[in-house]
Amino acid sequence: MTELQLPTGFRAAALAAGIKPSGRTDLSTVASDADCTWAFAGTRSTTAAACVTRNRDLYGEGGPVRALLVNAGNANAATGTRGAADNADMADALGSVLNVPQDGVLTASTGIIGHLLPMDRVLSGIEHLPEDLGGGADLFAQAIMTTDTRPKTASVTLSTGARIVGTAKGSGMIHPDMATMFAFAFTDAQVDQQALRDAFPAIVARTFNAVTVDGDTSTNDMALVLANGQAGPVPLDEFLEALEGVMRNLARQIAADGEGATKLLTVRVSGARSEAEALNAARTCCVSPLLKSAVHGNDPNWGRVIMAVGRSGAAVKVEAMKVSVQGHPVFAGRPLPYDDATVSQSMKVEEVVFEIDLGVGEATGEAWGCDLSAEYVSINADYTT
Amino acid sequence: MTELQLPTGFRAAALAAGIKPSGRTDLSTVASDADCTWAFAGTRSTTAAACVTRNRDLYGEGGPVRALLVNAGNANAATGTRGAADNADMADALGSVLNVPQDGVLTASTGIIGHLLPMDRVLSGIEHLPEDLGGGADLFAQAIMTTDTRPKTASVTLSTGARIVGTAKGSGMIHPDMATMFAFAFTDAQVDQQALRDAFPAIVARTFNAVTVDGDTSTNDMALVLANGQAGPVPLDEFLEALEGVMRNLARQIAADGEGATKLLTVRVSGARSEAEALNAARTCCVSPLLKSAVHGNDPNWGRVIMAVGRSGAAVKVEAMKVSVQGHPVFAGRPLPYDDATVSQSMKVEEVVFEIDLGVGEATGEAWGCDLSAEYVSINADYTT
């Protein structure tokens, strides 16, 4: 496989600092040769981690950034004032070795909650990061993984030759609320800071906030776009559409690689009163343990779709509602006759699609999840000890 | 075991009408010799079943009731206008054989969603119900079960000699929103209709709405109290406190008998800004698949408590927050040292208790759930087929 290069002017480095017990790479950075405009979305959790809080503060200040520093294996969340100081020290250390201001370094930590970072190893690792600063996206995508079974990248080349390269990680504790844990996109396109920031929330709502694995919103979720302008300007509409494509691709990869997942669950809602209600109904289906279990068992138990839509609170006219499973109509205001064995057989594939018409409006929305397997329980019954 | 008698003037009957494939009892009634005042809470689901909708309409009309008719094995939800007519026909049929008005018969259906009731069997069963109308609470509690592994009853005798007998069912699709699927309490105390209705929502919020098994709100959830006055008046405060005790007892039984559960999970929140936020934070912990998996594995992974509280949106001051597991303090603004093996050992019991102080106010709240086991998945991967 050819190594996926980062856009012009971005360079990655990764090493094993000894944060993950497995000895895999766990400390990484993507640095830019030039100042970047950027957009950010962080978790709405009221117990957000130090990295999210600090990035949000920097976002409010509005200055340019030059580098992103990520550690995996430790979330540095619920670690008190010491944890916040450690987070700032990490950024400071990378800023020093890269010769950029501390405020130009964003941070992201992922892994177990409630443990202090092994700062001696982290700081020693940061010292060595610049030595290898010529890596591409794959190296970086690998180093940010925790329970992921595979790295997640997506890229697109725009009409002007500018590129967008996205990376993401996440497998459990996935029910992002304003971003996911983590999605990072890098582009050499020149993009206006304010235009990017204005467009970003809606893109996140339709991509990362439409993904769920287990309904558990993380303390460390974040989505970031860094644009260093090295490839010059590009029409804004084209850029935003391409960015949404990259983010949608990554969002689907996260769902498909959910903890214990054997298949991707896609729910498309139409006929909703608003896009927000369509997305909410679709995502509530994707988070339902009952529907997820049925998908795991290839059981076309569409009654659980009716339940999940009802639970979502989205406006619906049940008598005008329609549901199909893998293209087979099963409900249209009343139960429709269908062959159980045929529909069940059609679910034995890598992606199972439910289509739901709420019968009250014109808005649509799509969300992604995965099936629920016994493997999910065994992965999570024994993570710390 | 002695049969649990219903309060004076209430009589139960149950039989196997052939709705459940297992051949177990699935059609039952509790009838009162005298008119009852009553209070009701039904699911907030926007796809609520016919029984919930009809009961809600009757509740709005405010007349007295005489009987409750329940079928298990079929939820009669998402069954269209035919399903609504079937539901009314059931009530009408029982009214005829008991010689009470149709509007004096409440209905409750539970089981699979999206299948029409086998009305020939249901109506034939209703014809035979009065023949056995002398049964107690156990008979009734047994007949309303679906995936429950045991019947759930609770009772109390008041100072005046009046009694409250409660029954409940529910094991999966348990995340009630204004009631659970199902909780029925019967009392021979004489209780003012308006006083009962005024007090009921808050009691439901602290009991059934504080229970969760899987986060999935049912289409058929309901809680009902019927008071026939046969034992005369009782001080209102005493009655309401006793009623809440019965409902709390039943709520805990539902959580402990959650699908695939091996233990009860109790989360007590203090220091919250409001009771609603305390209950929300507690219940969000109980619904978290990650925390539930950790409890299953006896893993004191309290970081998932921090995550769940943050996800709930409840106001919290992390630096003043405290968490304990089975009485062992593990977090107080920062991670505390503790012996992993000791705390893990203390979790190998039937009830695991987390106590959380949010550090921002005086309000408290308690919620109940259960652990998540591989058994939950196998129960639900193959329910219809």
The residue among A235, A53, A30, A283 whose CA lies nearest residue A153 is A30
Check CB contact under 8 Å for A299 and B376: no
Looking at the fold, whether B152 and B33 belong to one and the same domain comes out as: yes
- Contact yes or no for B294 and A381 at CB 8 A: yes
User: pLDDT digits over A108-117, tens only?
Assistant: 999 888 899 9
A206 occurs within a structural domain: yes
Percentage of chain B beyond pLDDT 90 is 70
Minimal CA separation from A323 to chain B, in Å: 11
The binding site of B for substrate comprises 146, 169, 180, 259, 380, 385
The confidence score (pLDDT) of residue A291 equals 93
* A385 has pLDDT over 80: no
Residue A252 sits in the same domain as residue A317 = no
B135-174 burial code (b ≥16 CB/10 A, e <16): bbbbbbbbbbbbbbeebbbbbbebebebbbbbbbbbbbbb
**Which amino acids of B are annotated catalytic?**
180
Q: Same domain for B241 and B283?
A: no
pLDDT in tens, A221-259: 888 889 999 999 999 999 999 999 998 998 898 889 888
For A272-276, A377-381, B133-137, which range has the lowest pLDDT when averaged over its residues? A377-381
Higher pLDDT, A348 or B176: A348
Task: Say if residue A36 is in the same domain as residue A176.
Answer: yes
If you search the block for the tokens 């020149």, which residue do you land on?
A: A190
Q: Do A114 and B302 touch (CB under 8 A)?
A: yes
Q: Does A1 fall in a domain?
A: no
Taking one residue from A and the other from B, the number of pairs with CB-CB distance under 8 angstroms is: 240
The pLDDT of residue B385 is 43
Contact B306 A372 (CB under 8 A): no
- Judge whether residue B242 has pLDDT over 90: yes
CB contact under 8 A, A384 and B48: no
Residue A219 in this model has a pLDDT that exceeds 90? no
- Per 3-state DSSP, chain B is made up of helix, strand and coil in percentages (nearest 5) of 35, 25, 35
Same domain (yes/no): A106, A170: yes
Q: Which residue's structure tokens are 């860094």? A: A226
Last residue of a domain, one of B254, B285, B313: B254
Residues of chain B positioned with their CB less than 8 A from the CB of A321: 47
Q: Compare CB distances from A335 to B115, B294, B335 and report the shortest one's residue.
A: B115
Query: Same domain, yes or no, for B176 and B315?
Result: no
Q: Closest residue of A to B43, CA-based?
A: A311
Angle at B59 between CA B168 and CA B136, to 5 degrees: 35
- Greatest alpha-carbon pair distance for chain B in Å reads 68
Structure tokens at B341: 């093996």
Dihedral sign, Cα of residue A70, residue A73, residue A79, residue A85: negative
pLDDT for residue B177: 63
pLDDT-derived band at B384 (thresholds 50, 70, 90) equals low
Q: Examine residue A270 and state whether it is found in any structural domain, yes or no.
A: yes
Residues B30 and B163 in one domain: yes
Residues A270/A227, Cβ–Cβ less than 8 Å: no
d(CA B226, CA B31): 10
Contact at CB, A307 and B385, closer than 8 angstroms:
no
Rounded Cα distance between B31 and B65, Å, is: 9
Contacts of A113 in chain B (CB under 8 A): 303-304, 306-307
Q: Which of B205, B225, B254 is the last residue of a domain?
A: B254
Q: Are residues A231 and A279 in the same domain?
A: no
Shortest Cα–Cα distance, B9 to chain A (Å): 36
| Residue B318, domain member (yes or no) | yes
The stretch B305-320 carries a mean pLDDT of 91
Cα B365 to chain centroid, rounded: 17
- Statement to judge: residues B78 and B207 lie in one domain: yes
Map residue A319 onto helix, strand or coil: helix
Range of the domain at B327: 264-380
A158, two tokens? 């725009």
Q: What is the pLDDT of residue A113?
A: 86
First to last CA, chain B: 36
Assess whether A233 and A290 both reside in one domain.
Answer: no
Q: Which long-range contacts (CB under 8 A, 24 or more apart) does A79-83 make?
A: A79/A50, A79/A114, A79/A115, A79/A116, A79/A117, A79/B334, A79/B335, A80/B318, A80/B319, A80/B333, A80/B334, A80/B335, A81/B319, A81/B334, A82/A116, A82/B334, A83/A49, A83/A50, A83/A116, A83/A117, A83/B334
The confidence score (pLDDT) of residue A136 equals: 93
- Report d(CA B344, CA B346) in Å as an integer: 5
> Smallest Cα–Cα separation from A44: which of A166, A152, A204?
A204
List helix spans (H) across chain B.
50-61, 80-98, 119-128, 137-143, 193-206, 236-256, 275-287, 289-296, 303-312, 340-346, 374-380
Which is it for the CA torsion A141, A142, A145, A151, positive or negative? positive
Does the structure show a pLDDT above 90 at B259? no
Residue B271 pLDDT:
97
Whether B43 has a pLDDT exceeding 90, the answer reads no
Question: In 3-state terms, what secondary structure has residue B135?
Answer: strand
Helix (H) or strand (E) holding A12: strand A10-15
Do B51 and B109 form a contact (C-beta atoms < 8 A)? yes
Collect all residues with Cβ–Cβ distance below 8 Å to B120 and sequence separation of at least 6: none
Each residue of B113-151: pLDDT tens digit?
A: 889 999 999 999 999 999 989 999 999 999 999 888 889
Question: What is the Cα–Cα distance from B322 to B319, expressed in whole angstroms?
Answer: 9
CATH number at A28 reads: 3.60.70.12
The answer to whether residue B4 is domain-embedded is no
CB contact under 8 A, A173 and B307: yes
pLDDT of residue B180: 52
- Nearest CA of chain B to the CA of A343: how many Å? 11
Q: How confident is the model at residue B47 (pLDDT cuts 50, 70, 90)?
A: confident
Which residues on chain B are in Cβ contact (under 8 Å) with A115?
Answer: 303, 335
Tokens 């591989």 found at? B374
Mark yes or no for CB contact A384/B112 under 8 Å: no
Q: Which of B146, B149, B174 is nearest to B283 (CA)?
A: B174
What total number of domains does chain A contain? Answer: 2
Q: Is the pLDDT of residue A125 over 50?
A: yes
Measured between CA atoms, the residue of chain A closest to residue B299 is A382
- Whether B121 is in a domain gets the answer yes
Annotated active-site positions of A, please?
180
Which of B82, B293, B342 is the mutation pick for testing A, counting most A CBs within 10 A?
A: B293
Per DSSP, the three-state class of A65 is strand
**CA distance to partner chain A, nearest, from residue B364 (Å):** 18
DSSP bridge partners of B223: B41, B183
| pLDDT (mean) for B86-108 | 97
A244-259 burial, b for 16+ CB within 10 Å, e for fewer?
bbbbbbbbbbbbbbbb
The answer to the question of residue A161 being in a domain is yes
Q: The domain that contains B290 carries what CATH number?
A: 3.10.20.340
Examine residue B337 and state whether it is found in any structural domain, yes or no.
yes
Q: Report the C-alpha gap between B176 and B219 in whole angstroms.
A: 9
The values of phi and psi at residue A360, to 5°, are -125, -10
What does residue A352 show for φ and ψ, rounded to 5 degrees? -110, 125
B-chain residue closest to A385, CA distance: B299
HSE-up of residue A117 (Cα within 13 Å, Cβ side):
35
The yes-or-no verdict on residue A30 having pLDDT over 90 is yes
Same domain, B235 and B277: no
Residue finishing a domain among B223, B254, B285: B254
Residue A176 to chain B, least CA–CA distance (Å)? 9
Question: Residue A181: is its pLDDT beyond 70?
Answer: no
Fill in the amino acid letter for B49: A
Q: Can you say which residues of A are annotated as belonging to the binding site for substrate?
A: 146, 169, 180, 259, 380, 385
User: Which residues in chain A have Cβ-Cβ distances shorter than 8 Å to B78?
Assistant: 303, 306, 318, 331, 334-335
Average pLDDT (B71-76) is 94
Give yes or no for residue B178 having a pLDDT over 70.
no
Same domain for A242 and A286, yes or no, is no
